[in-house]
Amino acid sequence: MGMTMIEKILARSAGLPGVAPGDVVTVNVGTAVVIDQNFMHNRMREPKRVWDADKVVIMLDHIAPADTPMRANIHKAARKFAEKQGIGKFHDVNGGLGICHQLVADYGYALPGSVLACVDSHTCSAGAFNCAARGIGHPEMAWVLATGRTWFPVVETVRYEFVSELPRVLNGKDVILHIANTYGDHAMQNVEFGGPGVAGMSMNMRRTIATMCAEISTEFAVFEADERCIEHVRSQNPDAVFEPQAADPDAVYADVRTVDLGALEPLVAFPDTVVRNSRPVSEAADVRIDQAFIGSCANGTLDDFEVAATVLKGRKIAAGTRLIVTPGSQAVLLEATRRGYVETLLEAGAVVTNSTCGACCGYSNGVLGAGEVCITASTRNFKGRMGSPEASIYLASPATVAASAVRGSIADPREMM
Amino acid sequence: MTIQGKTWKFGDHINTDLILPGPVMLMPYDEQPRHVFAANRPGWVDEVGAGDVLIAGRNFGTGSGRPAARSLKVLGLSCLVAESINGLFFRNCVNYGFYAMECPGVSEAFEEGDVAEVDFAAFTVRNARTGQTLQGRTFPDMLLKIIEAGGIYPLMEAEGMLADPNPETA
Ligand code: SF4
């Protein structure tokens, strides 16, 4: 029986000739990503010895630089751990700072055809690189670091075939909102993305889609590896050895669904979930906003700075509204500065912050108060996610968020681009 | 292993930010369980008793990798039975040693307050009031052993794999 992409990656990582839905397999982990959250409250008890220091990466991201003595101690613990275990790939508070999933992409840590593990739920982001990447929680991370192995259930796979090309104003965010709206959650399912439409998607766009698969509860979400993907990994991580996995022609799917990218329109998810909760932007047009946010591991890329700058060029943020823009990494910020995007944003009245998770998880740089309304281009709009449980969080693409900041209420970006 | 307890019922898509809100995670570890479901069911933490059973709908625990399962365990709940459980949340249940089972039909079969008998050998759930028994989804022995051991840390501790906790980040 043929296997899907994910089944092939799991089989390969488990050293098995084949796997099928219903199996639980023990796999070798290719890359383990440790973040500042691991060290908080000793959530991840440290193993005495890491199985392979070269396969471990450490990143400070959820709150960095430190905002309290507690966070400073968390960062100290991470530094000490890196030193003790001889882990060289350490992203501290310096030029290498960034949100873990952005850095995994930018530094080529996600190797096609392999397994990547991190505590964080949006680890599926690395699926853009044909990598079976998954959030595994804190205790499991201790086990992975000690042994280099973990277990996964093999579940059925849904395949999405992308055809035609996405209109310029649209973003991967609109694509995933469409999927979440049409098909609902994908709990206990894998998702693989392929088809002729993938070729026209930037790696950033693929990553937005893969990252957001946490919101539809997939087990794994993986893209086909095309030349663009492989070239990206090779250029960023020249020494890496990897073997991309394609689906067998006779792979068995729970369903195969075609998404016509050219037919999509900008969508807005209404507060509390993205699952079956989005509407065309026109239907949200009278919603007044206090805050607009562009950032997070899903939409803090150079592409997102570019689109925000395109919308904001020669315009001003509406009075009584604030736009906060947080880059996915300091490297993104540097390049966005060089290209003049940051200047455009600042001139429009936006506040551009350092790279960190920040407002996305309600920790810093734009936390919401009771009764406030926010439109965000981050990952998740659960009640209370960005601060007060009495705030309302709408979720959309960076273009829609930037246009809304100009209008002071939710706006269609097609009118400004 | 059979668990018997009074049930509390919750709906579909109960997410990790409801179980353990973001700002709460910055509080001392021991205080965190006091804030479980503060947004959707305030005061519940004072009503729930040791050994009670949580019955829930579809995709319970969707969301983040935070230690939300641990908070439910610390509150004294004996187990979770849901129509379906989010994959990452289930991992955390196993690894924090919190009994959890997927059981289609469980929401219909229980009214809040009914007593549930949950059998983790046969993977069945019985309603003591109605006598109805449902078949849950099984999972391998390997995972059950981790739960029985109290989670992954006791197992690693026994093998001498863990360093001492860091007092600065406790
Ligand atoms: S940016 Fe948001 S979703 Fe991404 S890792 Fe940080 S907190 Fe999680």
Residue A34 φ then ψ, to 5°: -105, 135
pLDDT in tens, A350-365: 999 999 999 999 999 9
Best B19, B20, B71, B169 member to test A by mutation, with max A CBs in 10 Å, is B169
A27: left (phi over 0), alpha (psi -120 to 50) or beta: beta
Work out which ligand 1 atom sits closest to the CA atom of A361. Answer: 7
CB contact under 8 A, A46 and B166: yes
pLDDT in tens, B84-97: 999 999 999 999 99
**Best of A97, A101, A299, A324 for a ligand 1 pocket test (most atoms within 8 Å of beta carbon):** A101
Helix axes A330-338, A302-312, angle to 10 degrees: 40
Closest ligand 1 atom, CA of A214?
3
Pick from A45, A135, A275: CB nearest B162: A45
Q: Between chains, do A140 and B95 touch, taking CB under 8 Å as contact?
A: yes
Contact B166 A389 (CB under 8 A): no
Q: What is the CA(B115)–ligand 1 centre distance, in A?
A: 39
Contacts of A211 in chain B (CB under 8 A): none
**Separation between Cα atoms, residue A31 and residue A39, nearest integer Å:** 19
Rounded Cα distance, A399 and A177, in Å: 14
| Among A254, A272, A264, A273, residue whose Cα is nearest residue A205 | A264
DSSP string covering A4-23, please? -HHHHHHHHHHT-S---TT-
What is the distance in A from the centroid of ligand 1 to the CA of B50?
Answer: 34
Contact with chain B for residue A288, Cβ under 8 A: no
pLDDT at B153: 97
Cβ neighbours of residue B43 under 8 Å, at least 6 residues apart? none
Q: Which atom of ligand 1 is nearest to the CA of A35?
A: 5
The C-alpha atoms of residue A59 and residue A37 are separated, in whole angstroms, by: 10
Any B CB within 8 A of A47 CB: yes
The minimal CB distance from A382 to the residues B63, B86, B166 is found for B63
How is residue A335 written in tokens? 């390049």
Q: At what angle do helices A302-312 and A341-348 cross, to 10 degrees?
A: 50
Complex-level ipTM:
0.96
pLDDT digits (tens, 9 = 90+) for A208-238: 999 999 999 999 999 999 999 999 999 999 9
The answer, as to whether pTM is greater than 0.95, is yes
Name the residue among B33, B118, B39 with its Cα closest to residue B70. B33
Q: What's the CA gap between A286 and B51, in Å, rounded?
A: 49
Task: Please check whether residue A373 is in contact with residue A408, taking contact to mean a CB–CB distance below 8 angstroms.
Answer: no
**Residue A174 to residue A162: CA distance in whole angstroms:** 13
Burial B118-145 (b: 16+ CB within 10 A, else e): bbbeebbbbbeeeeeebebeebeeebbe
pLDDT, residue B170, reads 87
- For residue B18, which residues of chain A lie inside 8 Å, CB to CB? 382-384
Distance in Å, CA A361 to ligand 1 centroid: 6
pLDDT values of chain A reduced to their tens digit, one per residue, 417 residues: 899 999 999 999 999 999 999 999 999 999 999 999 999 999 999 999 999 999 999 999 999 999 999 999 999 999 999 999 999 999 999 999 999 999 999 999 999 999 999 999 999 999 999 999 999 999 999 999 999 999 999 999 999 999 999 999 999 999 999 999 999 999 999 999 999 999 999 999 999 999 999 999 999 999 999 999 999 999 999 999 999 999 999 999 999 999 999 999 999 999 999 999 999 999 999 899 999 999 999 999 999 999 999 999 999 999 999 999 999 999 999 999 999 999 999 999 999 999 999 999 999 999 999 999 999 999 999 999 999 999 999 999 999 999 999 999 999 999 998
